[in-house]
Amino acid sequence: MKYGFYILLILVFFETSSCNYFKLKSEKGSDEVLARVGDEKLYKSDLLGLYQPNMTTEDSAMVTNNFIDNWARRQIILQKAKFNLTSDEEAEIKKMVNQYEEDLFINSYKAALTSQNMDSVLTDTELKDFYTKNNQLFNLNEDVLRYRMISFQSDDKNAEKMKELFKKKDSVSTSELLKGEYLFQGVQLNDTVWIKFNDFIKKYPFAQNLNKEQLLQSNHIQELKTGNITNYIFVKSALKRGEVAPFQFVKDDISKMILHQKKLKYIQDIENKLIQEAIQNQKYEKYIP
């Protein structure tokens, strides 16, 4: 199909189906005509709802002129395009417009059904079961890690105590770090959350000075000084690109995949039910030659 034909299809569809903003009315009685292109006319009532209550006279005039100019431009191009249509092209456009209109009705109905009736609550058991059976679908496309980190003034009188508590990695020491009177430049002691390596670097630019291979070693502590600041980083665990992603990292993706499958199954069941009802009510009969 020619490029121009596709453009025409778009114009005709919006003219006939979806562009109510520019919708014309052929029978207006005494309604005032504002513009004409060929046999098509733009009436004053077509501009209803176009103006805001606080518009000035000048603003209203500008909006009116812009609307008329846009309408005229569309009509001139559309009428020119229609004139150059072959009968086959016109038939194909009408077929495609009708098909698109049907799809809009059907998809809107399906969306309403699934929104109102389909259970979208998923348990952790469902999510983990799907993950276990399909973990080959969840290979990482970048490195990820879980970590803990503290930053403090290198000459802080409590520096050694903070290092000691941080290295212990137990809950009692972590609690003491948080509750004690320590002055941190930065602190992150929740090592249950996975983060992409690139996001980690963006969050802590100083980490660019660390050897990536060493940084991505699981159960490993690294110390890095930047000026008068000491940074202690403990990487609890790290996974490389190509390895299976951890469950928590892909939990949201799993939820979307399961709900999508449920939606497809629910819609298929509804369609089968409607077909059976149509057969029972003699609304649907198949004639096979």
Burial readout 182-211 (b: 16 or more C-beta within 10 A, e: otherwise): bebeeebbebeebeebeebeeebebbeebe
What's residue 35's pLDDT? 94
Kindly report, residue by residue over 205-264, the tens digit of the pLDDT. Answer: 888 888 888 889 899 898 989 889 999 999 999 999 999 999 999 999 999 999 999 999
**Cα torsion through 197, 203, 207, 211, rounded to 10:** 10
Bridge partner list, 230: 152, 225
97 and 193, same domain (yes or no): no
The whole-angstrom separation of Cα 1 and Cα 4 is 8
**Angle between the 247-280 and 87-117 helix axes, to the nearest 10 degrees?**
110
83 and 174, same domain (yes or no): no
Is residue 97 assigned to a domain?
yes
Please state whether the predicted TM-score (pTM) of the whole model is above 0.85: no
Domain of residue 181: give its range.
140-239
152 and 111, same domain (yes or no): no
Q: Residue 15's pLDDT band (boundaries 50, 70, 90)?
A: low
Domain end, chosen from 58, 85, 117, is at 117
What's residue 103's pLDDT? 95
87 and 177, same domain (yes or no): no
Is residue 43 assigned to a domain?
yes
Kindly report, residue by residue over 165-200, the tens digit of the pLDDT. Answer: 998 888 898 888 888 788 999 999 999 999 999 999
Is residue 224 assigned to a domain?
yes
Is residue 253 assigned to a domain?
no
What's residue 119's pLDDT? 82
Q: Does 14 have pLDDT greater than 70?
A: no
Over residues 29-53, mean pLDDT: 88
Which one-letter amino acid corresponds to residue 267?
A: I
Over residues 112-129, mean pLDDT: 89
What's residue 118's pLDDT? 83
Domain count, the chain: 2
Q: Does 145 have pLDDT greater than 70?
A: yes
113 and 152, same domain (yes or no): no
91 and 185, same domain (yes or no): no
Cβ distance 186 to 132 under 8 Å? no
63 and 150, same domain (yes or no): no
80 and 177, same domain (yes or no): no
Greater confidence (104 vs 206) lies with: 104
144 and 110, same domain (yes or no): no
